[in-house]
Structure 1
Amino acid sequence: MSALTASALRPSPNTPIRATTSNLSLRAAPPVPPANQNYEPLVKGLLQKRLISHLFPYSAAFTWATCVTSSVCMQGGVAQLGLVGTLVQPLRPSTLALTALTWGLSAVPVVVVRKRYSSATPTAATSPSQIFHTAWSKTSTFHSLVTYTCSSLALLLLRLISSYAYESDPRLSLFVKSKKHPHYLNGRLIYLLSSQLFVAFVYLLRNVLLDRFAIKWASFKQVSETQNFRLARLIAISVTLLLLASLNTTIHLVLFGLTRSIALPVIYQLPIVPKLLRPFTAHFLRGPYFFTLLGRNIGLVWTAFCLGLKTIAIWEFAEEMFDHVVAEPVTVTSTTADPALSIISGTTSTDPYFKHLAYDELAQLAKDDSAAATAKRSALFADQKYNPSMWNTLSREALVTLGKDYQLLLRRGQPEAPAAAPAPPAKPSALPSSIKQTPLLRQSVLKPSSQSPIRSAIDTLASDGTLGAAAGEAVPELFRSVLHAPPPAESEMIKRSEEEIAKIVTNVTVETKAWKMKVVEAVERNLAPKVVCEVRERVGVWWTRERVNKVVEGSVPNRRLDALVVESLSHLVCYSLTEDKYGIVQRDIPRILEAMISFLTALEQYQSELQTTYPTPTSDELAALHPKQRTEKEEVMVELARSSDVLNEVHGSLKDGLVRIVQTFGERLEAFKFPPRIAKRLQEYVDYT
């Protein structure tokens, strides 16, 4: 039986031999998925839901309320419509159709432009003039101007349609009703048209100066909005809109009057131009004076004011809602199977907006004491599925982010200097005298081919042929200067000519500026009143003066992101003492503490530099100054206070994070090695706690 069994188990020569299969394989662990594949699609989905469920319904409701109010006022109010007609007016098909058109032509385009060009990085500018010039170099400004202009004109068109529908004689036709002059333009319509165009320009200028396309992050330490705060915010926005509409109407009224009274008569003194304008605008020259005409058209001015206020209100409400939607924190942990992986993936995003949202959610996870948050942090610390692991990816990205902003702070917001040009290659050394150099043949080594007689004649007569060379030698030295110079000399002459032309252009530009300044000074000295000169000087100083707080903001533009990074790292390091089973986080504690202390030291040095540059005067020193100088000093003091608030956003987070880590680890920090300057500063916090 045993022999039979052995022969049965022995493989026959015809049986193929195969290796034993196994599920074990040597596969490299994948890296953490990039943000554009894991985190960003989730955030975009949530933001889309917010737009559909919050922004669009609320903006449509606000537009509906403004359209109902304007339609009721145009029909005479409650006195003409009656109580029942006023209550039915909001639900009429004409009102609903007008609301839909108004919302689609005003609120929606503004939201689309903001969604397209919003950025998490503020504009690096220290004065209103720099902000203005920087904004006009961007594509977003031109597209915004086109959007606001088209939207304001569309609302004007809807206003004209409503006037013809609700009023018997709106007097807003394109031409005046005159049989003798049928092509005279209607001044009332021109006034409304120019008013709406001016509304678009003023609103865009306000947004540019406010840097509206940069997302205004709410501080993560800010308390939740109460009902009183929302009411105060609503009142402040309403007052701002009323002031903006009033300012727009006043300035436009003055400019329109100056154009009709001064600019148009001057244009009519030009040749040819009056022949083109007279059939359409000649009646503007024969009308009454501007102030008399204003008294007759107060109703038109009120109509332009109401239309401008309605336009600005719809735009402002849509933009305020958009700012609230995009700046609100996002939570993706409930929409994904692996929350920690999604958040870590978001911290690697190249877009500052998604990076900010990811660190904001990570900070909330790092501070949470619940059992679910503990499980997520433990999974983050113990991850071995990715290479590098999730913690290594997070620590590297966080330290790189802090390092870039730290270097930017050391440069005081200035861009990084370009890399130095590489050194020219060294010249080859001369050969020793013992080695003989082989002469280089400078003639063809091939056998010359026989040329035809015609080809030989052409080569002889050519400019570089034998005949041309002989003629060049026969020309006297006096006339050789008119011949073609060799390429090096020609390039030098061209270069000298370009330099001379550049000098001429520079001199002309400087002389033109000096001439303009002389003309302005002469006009101000001889013609302009003293009050006008003072106002111009104050406006010029306000327009070009650098703000101290803006300079500081340019040094720490990502301060809120840096504060979130510090808060996230400090809490995770503290929780790693009990939740990190393998001690992975402890390897990075020296680097984290060194980065935080270096950043904190640089901020304190910057604060000391500001206090030295702008010393705070005492009350007696302020009282002894001239009123104008006192006002300037007070403005600088206000800007310094704002600068301190800007720096404290990061400074406070760094101090809190260091105290938190020192209190958690205590004497265990002696196990780590630090550079002397870091150890000295860390010892201060150990002694303090």
Structure 2
Amino acid sequence: MSSLSKSASGLSTPIRALPSNLASRAAPSVPPASQTYEPLVKEVLRHRLLRVFLSSALFSWALVSSCSGWSQGGVTTLGFFNTLLVPILPSTLAFAASTWVLGVVPVVVLRKSYLTATPTAAASPSKVFSAATDKRNTLRSLSIFMISSLFMTCIHAATTYVYEATSAHQPHLTLFVKSKKHPYYLNGRLLFLVTSQLSLAALYLLRNLMIDRFLVRWKDSLGKPEVRSFMLARVITGALSTVFLAVMSTAAHVLLFGLSRSILLPLLYKLPFLHRILRPVSAHFLRGSWSITLFTKNLALIYRSFTLAFTTAINWEFAESVFDSQVAEPVTVAHATADAALTLVSGITSKDSYYKYFAYTELQHLASDDSAPGSTLRTAMFSDQKYSPSMWATLARETLLALGNDYQLLLRRGAPPTTVPTPTAVPAKLGVPAQVQSAPLVRTQVLKPAHPSPLRSALDTFAADGPISTVISSTAEAGASQIPELFRSVMPAHSPVAAKVESAVETVKKGEEEIKNIVSVRASEWKARLYGELTRYSPHAVVEIGSRVANWWTRERVNKVVEASLPNRKMDALAIDEDRYGVVQCDIPRILEALLSFLTSIEDYQSELRTRYPAPSQEELDNLSPKELAEKEKIAYDVVKAGDVLSEVADRKLCQFESSHPEPIRYSSIKRRHREGGQDFWA
């Protein structure tokens, strides 16, 4: 019995749990777009940028070849065979490469650097101009355009030196005038071309700013091939606009150059020290005939400046047009990844609306794809259980957030959100204990030695209640007004000196605001007085033209106001198409609520436009003067364009409602009311 118990006790082992490699791990979230989607889109855009470079290089080569052949006399002088050899001559290739590298590439790089998908919220040309001048990239863009134009001028001067040196009409585009007595006199012909190119650069940039050229112009066809007639119309329109821009630039430069030679330069010579710097290089400009007669004797130079401006502008315009078409073309990258649904859902989480638009475009194509791969991708999106939140939840959340932000912007009519200051919590006042009489501090030692230690004396001097601290505290209040602002911020907020300083600063700020108001009032009064004097002594025709120009410059366009309320309308229309994914989901009530709220706000805005700009009756039109009738036509045109802006989202919503949810909710009545009241404002 004892041996059995011993053997049993020897075989017993401690009880322990079985080892397992299973662990509870949290499901990962959908990766951000910067890791999955944006690198793929950037790779596609790099290939498209190379396409832009290649197209602009070929265009510059063709244009330089044409100009080179024309400078050498064309077919009549060179012959047919030599004319065919002009494009492959080393000089032609060198000038073409220089034109493209120094004149065109900087403009394309500038467009790539400052490309944006957010439009400028401005309703009048004056506000567009003021918003452009407030941006930092405007001055940089102006410098890039001017430097490129100067390079184009130098290349043109070199071209004329190579091809026209032996011709009868030599351009004489050297830097200095060939004079032994005055070897540093600047060549007026070259200076005229240089200033003409600078004027072209400024006018071209102004045109780009006024039409918001740095904004992406999304295509309405969503990747469908363009009609050839439309492409031909765009080419003709671009060429005509470039000719008009070159004519305007040349005319404005001729006027400014004549005024500078006749008025500005003589005034500069009146200054005491500046005339000594200007005389060695520009004294010959003061002599000669008047500027008007001088221009009539140099019509060939003016024509040369026009052709140079046209070739420069057409190079820029072609490169920018190709760039606009490439950056707005939809991108398809999900099919090249292992998980296409995850890539697209990750793409709509991008912080940049430019990449988000591409993701929504591809999702819209996936939603309307009836093939087997499209059905497989949609099934994978719905049955996802690997991510938390799931892919469908992420898609629905991001879409509703995007629509919600644009919905709030529509309710504010494009105004920025009002920031409400958060109230500061006032600390509760604690009970103040009864004031206790403190015993006076005895600074003398009880057991005072015969000779005190020097170290002890120094410590007492620099103590908190020592003599130095007493002197500083007594003089701090008197010198607080002379403390600079940089050092006032480190003063204790609860001290009376800091309170006095803050009150003094507030008084100074109020004084500054009053001075600014007085200056603005005085400036407005001065402008009104100057305008009154000018209108009194100017001819009636000049006053009429000036008033029309001022009205055009400051008049707010209705369609621009509506566009500011719906800046992301094309992306909103694509996001609405994602409602097709929610047919079998439980998120239908939230999606319908969001879309119906958006649609109701758009209908309210349309009703507001109809109320604010009612269509005049026939009797009212008959009683209007020609000037008033022209104003009504301008407003009618703006209102029709505003209706088109609102219809981009409203029509997409109504069509989506009827196609996806015909029952039990009947949206045909909403669509009928919309078409009866919201489509045509001026029918």
Give CA-to-partner distance per residue, 1:586-641, whole Å, 9 cap, x none: x1010001101010001000100111111111233123112222211111110000
Corresponding residue for 2:547? 537
CA offset at residue 377 of structure 1? 0.6
CA offset at residue 683 of structure 1? 9.6
Structure 2 Cα separation of the partners of residues 486 and 598 of structure 1: 55
Check the 8 A contact 1:662/1:685 in 2, yes or no. Answer: no
Are 1:32 and 2:30 matched, yes or no? yes
Which TM-score applies when normalising by structure 2? 0.86
Corresponding residue for 2:39? 41
Structure 2 Cα separation of the partners of residues 683 and 110 of structure 1: 50
Check the 8 A contact 1:460/1:466 in 2, yes or no. Answer: no
Structure 2 Cα separation of the partners of residues 125 and 48 of structure 1: 32
Cα 1:20–1:467 shift into 2, 3 Å: closer
Corresponding residue for 1:518? 529
- Aligned-residue CA RMSD (Å): 3.1
- Counting matched residue pairs gives 633
Give 1:72-151 correspondences, 5 Å limit.
Answer: 72-151=69-148
Give 1:337-352 correspondences, 5 Å limit.
Answer: 337-352=338-353
Structure 1 Cα separation of the partners of residues 331 and 472 of structure 2: 83
Cα 1:16–1:167 shift into 2, 3 Å: farther
Give 1:98-247 correspondences, 5 Å limit.
Answer: 98-168=95-165, 169-220=170-221, 224-247=225-248
Alignment counterpart, residue 573 of structure 1, candidates 582, 591, 603: 582
Which TM-score applies when normalising by structure 1? 0.85
What runs of 5+ residues in structure 1 fail to find an aligned partner? 1-9, 432-436, 473-484, 577-584, 670-680
Secondary structure at the counterpart of residue 324 of structure 1: helix
Give CA-to-partner distance per residue, 1:73-114, whole Å, 9 cap, x none: 221222222211111000111111111111111221111111
Are 1:550 and 2:560 matched, yes or no? yes
Give CA-to-partner distance per residue, 1:246-291, whole Å, 9 cap, x none: 1111111111112112222333334333333222222222211223
CA offset at residue 13 of structure 1? 6.5
The amino acid across from 1:284 in the alignment is: F
Structure 1 Cα separation of the partners of residues 567 and 197 of structure 2: 36
Structure 2 Cα separation of the partners of residues 639 and 604 of structure 1: 18
What runs of 5+ residues in structure 2 fail to find an aligned partner? 1-7, 479-495, 674-683
Are 1:564 and 2:574 matched, yes or no? yes
Cα 1:326–1:490 shift into 2, 3 Å: closer
Secondary structure at the counterpart of residue 276 of structure 1: helix
Paired-residue identity, %: 45
The amino acid across from 1:623 in the alignment is: D
Cα 1:463–1:41 shift into 2, 3 Å: closer
Check the 8 A contact 1:381/1:391 in 2, yes or no. Answer: yes
CA offset at residue 547 of structure 1? 0.9
Structure 2 Cα separation of the partners of residues 328 and 142 of structure 1: 29
Corresponding residue for 1:5? none
Structure 2 Cα separation of the partners of residues 255 and 223 of structure 1: 47
Cα 1:390–1:487 shift into 2, 3 Å: closer
Cα 1:444–1:19 shift into 2, 3 Å: farther
Corresponding residue for 1:608? 607
Check the 8 A contact 2:340/2:377 in 1, yes or no. Answer: yes
Secondary structure at the counterpart of residue 386 of structure 2: coil
CA offset at residue 444 of structure 1? 8.1
Are 1:305 and 2:306 matched, yes or no? yes
Structure 2 Cα separation of the partners of residues 12 and 142 of structure 1: 92
Structure 1 Cα separation of the partners of residues 473 and 17 of structure 2: 87
Moved more, 357-366 or 287-296: 287-296
Cα 1:465–1:97 shift into 2, 3 Å: closer
Secondary structure at the counterpart of residue 398 of structure 2: helix
Check the 8 A contact 1:111/1:322 in 2, yes or no. Answer: yes
Check the 8 A contact 1:461/1:467 in 2, yes or no. Answer: no
Cα 1:139–1:13 shift into 2, 3 Å: farther
Secondary structure at the counterpart of residue 121 of structure 1: coil
The amino acid across from 2:574 in the alignment is: L
Check the 8 A contact 2:654/2:671 in 1, yes or no. Answer: no
Check the 8 A contact 2:222/2:330 in 1, yes or no. Answer: no
Structure 1 Cα separation of the partners of residues 429 and 473 of structure 2: 41
The amino acid across from 2:59 in the alignment is: F
CA offset at residue 397 of structure 1? 0.5
Secondary structure at the counterpart of residue 409 of structure 2: helix
CA offset at residue 166 of structure 1? 1.3
Structure 1 Cα separation of the partners of residues 90 and 241 of structure 2: 33
Structure 1 Cα separation of the partners of residues 298 and 474 of structure 2: 87
Moved more, 175-184 or 146-155: 175-184
CA offset at residue 48 of structure 1? 1.0
The amino acid across from 1:593 in the alignment is: L
Corresponding residue for 2:48? 50
Check the 8 A contact 2:342/2:391 in 1, yes or no. Answer: yes
Corresponding residue for 2:678? none
Are 1:507 and 2:518 matched, yes or no? yes
Check the 8 A contact 1:380/1:391 in 2, yes or no. Answer: yes
Secondary structure at the counterpart of residue 37 of structure 1: helix
Corresponding residue for 1:439? 435
Give CA-to-partner distance per residue, 1:326-372, whole Å, 9 cap, x none: 10000012211111111000011110000000001100100111111
Are 1:621 and 2:620 matched, yes or no? yes
CA offset at residue 442 of structure 1? 5.9
